[in-house]
Structure 1
Amino acid sequence: MFAVAAFFDVKERKIQDIIWLVCGGTGAILYTVELPDAIDIVSMVVGVTLASTFWFFRLYAGADALALISLSVIFPTYHDFIIPLSMVVIATTISVIYGIVYNVAANSRTLLLDNKIFEEFDEPLYRRIAAFFLIHKRSKSEQFAFPAERIVSGRKKFRFRYDPDDEFSKDDVYVSLAMPLTLFFLIGLVGLIITIISLDLSFSVCLQNCDLS
């Protein structure tokens, strides 16, 4: 189910609420069969608190917050790892790295082709340097991006902060990437599970070899 949500996040950057209702309902049904442990309850509280806080401060879109809440309910812990907190850290790391690499590559291409960049903006040097890593000029094929420029007193300024529930930009302007956080949650979850299983297997093999020797 989470993979389906990630697919729609990548394809449309929109996820139907029914998906999260199914996820949450599944978790609720499971807990009627087996009550959650104390660590599971703590994890769920952490997940709901983080999701609500990030949504309140407009750091997450509504779908991203629901994704984190659903994950907290259906899969709160794994080998004593608090999954919601782990996913926030992993997804944020992936978002930052992906965003910086994408923006630097796009801006480097613009600079090579035009021999200039950000000249139309009335901004100091340090903000131009920051913009090189945070925003880029929208390509014609780019569908999911938020406007990253605005007019203030007749002067063009950078707009680094955006509302994740804003409409996507369709104009040929500088934009910020709309990150598919649900996909990053899924990547982080799968990666964490594989890492833990691999470490457990390696530790078991090591113990067996030590016993044989």
Structure 2
Amino acid sequence: MFLEMRIAACACMLAAASFYDMKSREIPDKIWLVFGGAGALLMALEFAGGFYPARQPLVPYAAGMGVMSLIGYAAYRAGLVGGADAKAIVVLAVLFPEYGVGYRIHDIPALSVLSNALILSMAGLLHNVARNAVSLAKGVPIFEGVSEGALRKALAFSTGFSTASCGRYLFAMEEKDGQGRRKFNFNPASYNDFIEQGQKRVWVTHALPFIVYIAAGFAIFIAVGDLLALAFTGLLPG
């Protein structure tokens, strides 16, 4: 019963967070407070009612929260995820401390959800590489006017793409420095506004919020388990 309640709560939390992030790029803190509090309450009820198995004491539960808190904070400070994404990672650990079904290589479900989300986000990188490769094959000067070195151009080649036709949910991945030179901007935390249509060729990156990948990663975890564990299972001999 408690497990089903946790799964339902996580699904509702991630669905609501994804909706707000896609709509306004902002997620109200009350979502994390409400669902984080719900997770703590469920854990208290489980311990008080003796529903939590003795083989899974409080220490591993607290350790999982600690690990995910460190990962979330480090990813946020490094500019890899936004503040809301970091909070989602931590609240997942509070709300979903254990899950005994499916393939896994550790006992921290929130970490499996995060790794699933990262794997899913890699699909975007493959799209960027393919799109840029096609443009180069057609002779399109995708780096024309960009004052960057080879390494940063290589990074841009996988994290974004050059386009002259901007659609919805795209962020500009370039900016001008003090001398008016076009430079790449690889810091997702600074991406605030969708790019306007009608501009000249510009480097952009998809604006699909990472919280959407987290939600998809959670759904996959419930359905089949940890994608990384599945990969190891397929690669390693039985």
TM-score range for the pair, normalised by the shorter chain length:
0.7 to 0.9
Give the alignment of 1:160-199 within 5 angstroms.
161-171=186-196, 172=199, 173-196=202-225
Q: RMSD over aligned Cα, in angstroms?
A: 2.7
Does residue 94 in structure 1 map to residue 120 in structure 2?
yes
Which amino acid in structure 2 is aligned with residue 16 of structure 1?
P
Which amino acid in structure 2 is aligned with residue 52 of structure 1?
Y
Aligned partners of 2:169 and 2:208 also within 8 Å: no
Which aligned segments of 4 or more residues in structure 1 are displaced greater than 6 angstroms?
none
Aligned residues: 195
Taking the aligned partners of 2:153 and 2:58, their CA distance within structure 1 comes to: 50
Does residue 81 in structure 1 map to residue 102 in structure 2?
no
Taking the aligned partners of 1:11 and 1:118, their CA distance within structure 2 comes to: 32
Give the alignment of 1:1-213 within 5 angstroms.
1=12, 2-35=14-47, 37-79=58-100, 81-95=107-121, 97-108=122-133, 110-111=135-136, 115-137=140-162, 139-151=165-177, 153-159=179-185, 161-171=186-196, 172=199, 173-196=202-225
Instruction: Using structure 2 for the length normalisation, give the TM-score.
Output: 0.69
Taking the aligned partners of 1:109 and 1:8, their CA distance within structure 2 comes to: 34
Higher RCO (CA 8 Å, separation ≥ 6 residues): 2
Aligned partners of 1:149 and 1:175 also within 8 Å: no
Which amino acid in structure 2 is aligned with residue 84 of structure 1?
A
Taking the aligned partners of 1:123 and 1:144, their CA distance within structure 2 comes to: 21
Identity level (%): 32
Q: Which moved more, 1:124-133 or 1:62-71?
A: 124-133
Gaps of 5+ in 2: 1-11, 48-56, 101-105, 226-238
Is the alpha carbon distance of 1:136 and 1:149 closer, same or farther for their aligned partners in structure 2, counting shifts above 3 Å?
farther
Which amino acid in structure 1 is aligned with residue 66 of structure 2?
V
Taking the aligned partners of 2:28 and 2:157, their CA distance within structure 1 comes to: 34
Instruction: Using structure 1 for the length normalisation, give the TM-score.
Output: 0.76
